[in-house]
Amino acid sequence: MVILTLNCGSSSVKYQVYNWEAKEVLARGLVERVGTADSVLEHTTHRNETLTINREIPDHETAIQMILETVADSRVGVVKKIEEIKAVGHRVLHGGQKFNKSAMITPESLQTFRELVDLGPLHLPANISGIEAAQRVLPQIPQVAVLDTAWHQTMPAFAYIYAVPYNWYTYYGVRRYGFHGTSFLYTAKRASALLGKHPMETNLIIAHVGNGASMSAVKNGCAFDTSMGLTPLEGLVMGTRSGDIDPAIINYICRRTGMTSLQVENDLNKKSGLLGVTGRFSDRRDVNQAAENGDSQSLLAKQIEGYRLKKYIGAYMAGLERVDAIVFTAGVGEMSPATREEALKGLDNLGIILDPDKNKLSRTRNAETCISSDHSPIKIFVIPTDEELVITEDAYAISIGTYDIHTNFRYSFEDKAYVNKERAKGLERELKKNPALQDILA
C-alpha cells in the first residue's frame, strides 16, 4: 500500500511517498513558487535519483498533477501507476475545538476549515486549496486531515482560557489552541521510548524550534500547556515573529505612527523576532555568526531568544512538577548547538545539566542524541522530528478503520527499536566522517 502525504503552503507543496509494507520512504519532494512563471519541482527517490523541473505551475491542482506524473514517471518514478496510491494525508493548520485527532476529510470537515480561516489566514487557505485539488485529481482515494491543533486539545481549561471577557471565548472561540502538534506527538512518543517509559507516564518539555517555534509541556503523555496561542504569533521569539508582547503596544504604535492595527500585526508576524532585533537576519546561522563576529544586535537577539526559551522551561517545570526530559526538535532545535546552549545555561540548579561537548557534537537529522551530562537528573534529548510519518500512519489507520486518539492508539515509532531506514543510511554515512557522534546516540 502506497500513501501520499501533502503539506500545502500558499505557494508550495511538500510531498512524500511511502510504501507501507516495506516501511520505506519511496520519494520526497517540493514544489515551490506555485502561481508564478518560475515554479520549480524538485524530486528525490530512495534510489538517490533526482529530478528538477522548471516550468510555470499556476495553481495547487497543477502542482499535485505534476507530483503524480513524477511519482509514476518511467525514469524517476516510484510506482508503476497512480492507482497504487491508496490514501492521501494532508497537513492542516487549524481544527479549532472540533478536532482532537486526525479525521477523514468530508464536506462537513472542509466547511469547518473554511469557517476557521480567520484563525489561520496565512496557512488554512492553502491547506484547503491543496485538499480540494487532491480531491479533484484523486477523486476515489481516501483523503485524511492531520491537524496541528489536535494534539493540544487535552490541555486543561486553566491553561487554554485567556483572562479576557469570557464571552470572547464562548462567542468567538478566543482561546489558546497551539500548533506544531504533529511534531510534538512524534517527539513525545520517541522520548518516552528512549526513556524506557510508557507514554502515559512521561512528563516532558519539548521545544520545536524552527523559523516558527513553540513549546509543549507534556504531562502523563498528553499536552498540558503550549506557548503559541489563538494564532502562531504568541510565545517564543521566532525568525520573524515577536512572540509574547504587551498587547497595548499595538495601539500605542498605531497612535504614534498612523499605522493600522493590521499593519502592526503584519510587522509582528513578518518583521519582528530575530529579524526585528538584528535588522538583517532571521536565520539563526546568520545571527550566531554575526554575534561571534562582534555584532551587538545579533548578540542581543541571540540572548533574547535564549532567555525566552529558558523562561518557558522554568514555567513548565513549575506546572508539570516533575520532568523526565527536555527535548529539542525541528531545524534549529536539531542543528543549532548555540541556541540550545543559550536556552539551557544556568539551569543546573533545576536538575538540567547540559554537557557542552555533547551539545557541540549534536548536529544531525539522522539520529536521536542525548546531550545531557551523565549526572544530570533530567535528560536532554535532541530528536529529529518526523511529521510526515505521523501523517502517513494516521492516513493508513483511518483508511482501514483502526485509528483512534493517540492515547488509545499505538504508533510504530513508539518502540525503542524503531528504525527509520532512510535516516539509518544517512547516519551510517555521517559516522564514517564523524565517529565521535556514536558516543552521544540516544
List, in order, residues 6 or more apart from 145 with CB less than 8 Å away: 90, 92, 95, 99, 102, 103, 104, 105, 109, 113, 131
Task: Give a three-class secondary structure readout of the chain.
Answer: CEEEEEEECCCEEEEEEEECCCCEEEEEEEEECCCCCCCEEEEEECCCCEEEEECCCCCHHHHHHHHHHHHCCCCCCCCCCHHHEEEEEEEECCCCCCCCCCEECCHHHHHHHHHCHHHCCCCHHHHHHHHHHHHHHCCCCCEEEEECCHHHHHCCHHHHCCCCCHHHHHHHCCCCCCCCHHHHHHHHHHHHHHHCCCHHHCCEEEEEECCCEEEEEEECCEEEEECCCCCCCCCCCCCCCCCCCCCHHHHHHHHHHCCCHHHHHHHHHHCCHHHHHHCCCCCHHHHHHHHHCCCHHHHHHHHHHHHHHHHHHHHHHHHHCCCCEEEEEHHHHHHCHHHHHHHHCCCHHHCCCECHHHHHHCCCCCCCEECECCCCCCEEEECCCCHHHHHHHHHHHHHHCCCCCHHHCCCHHHCCCCCCHHHHHHHHHHHHHCHHHHHHEC
Give just the sign of the alpha carbon dihedral 84, 49, 437, 328.
negative
The C-alpha cell 502523563 sits at: 220
Query: Which of the following is catalytic: 59, 148, 283, 324?
Result: 148
Beta bridge partners of 380: 326
Whole-angstrom distance, CA of residue 242 vs CA of residue 84? 45
Q: What is the distance between the terminal CA atoms of the chain, rounded to a whole angstrom?
A: 31
Contact 440, 380 (CB under 8 A): no
Q: Does the active-site annotation cover 324?
A: no
List, in order, residues 6 or more apart from 314 with CB less than 8 Å away: 347, 350
List, in order, residues 6 or more apart from 422 with CB less than 8 Å away: 24, 25, 46
Q: Give catalytic residue positions.
A: 148
